[in-house]
Chains A and B, each alone.
Chain A
Amino acid sequence: MARIEIHPELAADKDALLKLCPFGAIELDGGTLAINAACRMCRICIKKGGGVFEFIEDAAPGIDKSQWNGIAVLAEIDDGHHLHPVTLELLGKARELADKVNYPVYALVIGHNVAEAAEKLLSYGADEVFVYDSPELEFFKIEPYTNVLEDFIRKQRPSSMLVGGTVNGRSLAPRAAARFRTGLTADCTVLDISPSTDLDQIRPAYGGNIMAHINTPKHRPQFATVRYKIFSIPEESEAKGKITRCELPETALASKIDVLERKKKEVEQGIEEAEVLIVAGRGVKKKEDLELLEELAGLLNGRIASTRAVIEAGWMNPKLQIGLSGRTVKPKLVITCGVSGAIQFVAGMNNSELIVAINSDPGASIFKVAHVRLVGDLYTILPELIRNIKSRKAERI
C-alpha cells in the first residue's frame, strides 16, 4: 500500500505547492496542506515539492511472480474465421518480450472452425496455441468469451496478456481484467519488459497531449491492449509449437445477449473516411494518367482525390475534390502528385497525419506543409514507387 505523507513544517511557500499538482489535488484544508480525491498519484509533488511530500510505500505482499509465466496473445477472429492482422503484430511483440525474460509465447484462439487460424499463429512465433472451438463461439459474445479467457488464464497463468485494441478486444479485456482484479493498460503505444517481468507500458492520455509510463508491479496477469498498426507483423517462420484443444462446458458458453440481425455495412466511403489519399494536381497531364494514381491508391488501400483544377477539367467526380470549395480531409497519409499547394487546397488537408508531396517545382508552396518532399518528375517517381511497393509485397507472400 502506498500513500503520500505531508510534512507541513517543510512548506515554505504554500501557494507554490498548491500549483504543483497538475490535477489540482493539493488543497488547503483550514490552512493545512492536504491532498484531495483528485490525486492521480503521478508523484510530481514528491519530485518537485522539496521534501514536503513523501511517498510512503508499505511493503505489501505482492503475488508470487514465478507462478505466472509466458506472454499470451488473444487472437482476434473477424467474420468467424479470418485472423485480424493486429494478432500477428502482437505475436511479433510478444516474441520480442518473451525472449528478453526467457518466456514462452502463448496464443489463445476463440471461435468456430478456426484450425487454419491456429496453424497460422504457429508460423508467426507462438510456442503453444490454445484453441476453444465451438459453434457457440463463432461470433463474439461478451459472457462466453470472458469465460473462455478466464479459463485460459486460470490454467496457463500467463504473466502478460496482450489483446488487440479492436472493438471486441476493448470490450473483453477490461471485463476479464476486472474478473482477476488486475491491471489493464489500454491503447499502449510502446511495450517493453523489465527483468522483474513487469511490463513497461507507455500510452497517450489527454488526447495524446501527454504520455504515461505505466507498470502493474504487484498483479498478474498484466493486461495490455494495443491498437492495430502500432507494431509490425513479424516474418513468417517455420512452425515449431503445438496446438492444444480446450473445452468449456456448455453452461459457460451461454449468453443473455440475443443478436437479432447482423448486417454487413456498405463499404461506399467518401474521401473523408479514407485513411490514404493520392491527390492529382495540375501536374497530371492528361486524364489517362490518373490510372497511375489509381494503381498506387490500390496498392496502399487508399482512394484518389484531386484539386480544383482537375475537377474543372472534368476528369474526376466533384465529390473527390479537396479544399475549401470541396471536402476537408484528415487521412493518415496523403500523397500529392503535381499539386502546387494553393491556400484553398491546403486548408482542406493540412491536418493530415503524414503529407508527402511530389512536384517538379522546388518553390511550390505545397512543400511548406509537406512532411516528406520529393522534388522531381511524378512520371518517373510514381512508376518507380509502384514497382518498389509491388516487389516488397511480393516478397512477403
Chain B
Amino acid sequence: MNILVCIKQVPGTSQVEIDEKTGVLKRDGVESKMNPFDLYALETALRLKQQYGATVTALTMGPPQAETVIREAFMMGADRGIVLSDRRFGGADVLATSYTLSQGVRIAGDIDLIICGKQTTDGDTAQVGAELAEFLGIPHVVNVCSIRELTESAIELVVDLPDYELTERIPFPCLVTVEKGIFEPRLPSFKLKMATKDREIVWLKLDDLPDKDPAHYGLNGSPTQVKRIFPPESHVEHVTLAGSDPEKAAELCELLDRKKFLQQMR
C-alpha cells in the first residue's frame, strides 16, 4: 500500500496587506509553515498507515526552503519525501502546478492512493487535486469527511455534500481531497525529528521529470496570467437610515434585496 500526500509551504499568515501607494505586498515576518489543510491530509495518511500498514510519501513543489515542510512531515511519521524545485517551475498557476505534481507522482512509483488537503491558505483555489487526478487519469472525489474502510483494492469513504452524505467506494489508484477536521492532526514528534534528521529527500528538477519540455512548466505552462493584485475594497460601511419608520423599512428592504438576501435559498 503506497500513499502519497501533496503538501505545500505557505506564508505563516494570510493577514497580508497591500501598500496602497506602492502596490507592494507588506510582509512583516515572512515566516512560512505547512498549509494547515495539508495537515489533515497527512494525518489521514498516517492513520491509514497505522491501521492497515502503508508507506507514506510526502510530495511538495516550491523553492528550496520547501524542504522544511517535508522535514515536518517526517516528524509526523511520513516515510519518504520528494521536493520538486526548479526555477523553471516558478510562476505556475493551477494547471502548471498540477501538471508538475503529476510528473513528480510518476517518479514516485506505484501509488495506490493520493490524498490532498481541501485547499491552500494562499491561493485558496481548491482545484489542484482534481487537475492532478485528471493528469494521472485516475478518479477523484472531493469533500471527504471520513474513511470507512480500506481494502486491498479500494477505499470506502464518506463525502460531505451540503444536503447529503454519500458513502462511496473508489478503486485504487485514486485521489481524494479531505475536509478539515477529518482527523485531528498530530504534533511533530521530537523522537521522529532526531530519527529522520539525516533521511534523504528526493530532489527533482525539470530535467529529472519524464516530460522535459519547459513549455509545460512554470509561467510558460500557465494559461492564466495575473494582471495585477490589489487590496480589497473595504465593504464595511456604516449607514444610518433616515426618514420616517416606514421609509426606513422600505430602504432596508431595498438594501437586503441588493445584497441578495431575498433570493431563493437552498
Contacts and interface: CB of A to CB of B under 8 A. Distances in A.
Interface of A: 1-3, 20, 22-25, 34-44, 47-48, 78-79, 84-85, 142-143, 146, 166-167, 170-175, 177-179, 181-187, 200, 204-219, 228-229, 232-233, 255-265, 275-276, 299-301, 332-333, 354, 356, 367, 370-377, 380-382, 384-385, 387-389, 392-393
Given A207-B14, A215-B227, A374-B249, 11 more contacts: A37-B86, A39-B90, A184-B127, A210-B232, A212-B228, A213-B228, A214-B225, A214-B227, A215-B225, A356-B252, A392-B257
21 contacts: A37-B61, A37-B90, A85-B266, A170-B126, A170-B127, A174-B128, A181-B223, A183-B94, A184-B95, A186-B124, A186-B125, A206-B14, A207-B14, A209-B17, A213-B226, A261-B166, A264-B164, A354-B259, A374-B249, A375-B240, A385-B253
Contacts, number: 304
A210 B227 CA distance: 13
B231 interface: yes
A382 B64 CA distance: 60
A175 B239 contact: no
Nearest to A356: B252
Nearest to A171: B142
B189 to A, nearest CB: 29
A24 B121 contact: no
A2 B62 contact: no
B212 interface: no
A38 B131 CA distance: 21
Given A37-B62, A37-B87, A177 B255 contact: no
Interface in B203-224: 215, 218-220, 222-224
B73 interface: no
Nearest to B161: A167
B260 interface: yes
Q: What DSSP secondary structure best describes chain B's contact surface?
A: mixed
B198 interface: no
B25 interface: yes
Contact of B23 (A48, A209, A373, A388): A48
